[in-house]
Amino acid sequence: MNFPSAPANNPLDAGSQASDKTFFGEFDRYALFAVHTRFDAVQWFVADAELPDPVTGKPSIIRQAATPEEAVAGLRFNDVL
């Protein structure tokens, strides 16, 4: 499985998206993307389009991890990233 490479972290952009979203899963249910942090490296997030956030109505963030492999571990998906 091929994962996106980790973009360089920019602490001045902490909280902003650091990579394009990679969609996977049946009907592109999940989105994997990196976010800049105020620390040494980006963090990887997974959003679930079938689980809307009760406040914003947007896809809920269901995972956060240091690597894309850790972020998607255990999720069922039929497409190779």
Q: How confident is the model at residue 80 (pLDDT cuts 50, 70, 90)?
A: very low
Q: How confident is the model at residue 2 (pLDDT cuts 50, 70, 90)?
A: confident
What is the DSSP track for the chain? ---PPPPPP-GGGTTSB-S--EEESGGG-EEEEEE--SSSS-EEEEEEEEEE-TTT-SEEEEEEESSHHHHHTT---SS--
Segment 40-65 shows an average pLDDT of: 97
Residue-wise pLDDT tens digits, 31-40: 999 999 999 9
Q: Structural domain boundaries of the chain?
A: 11-72
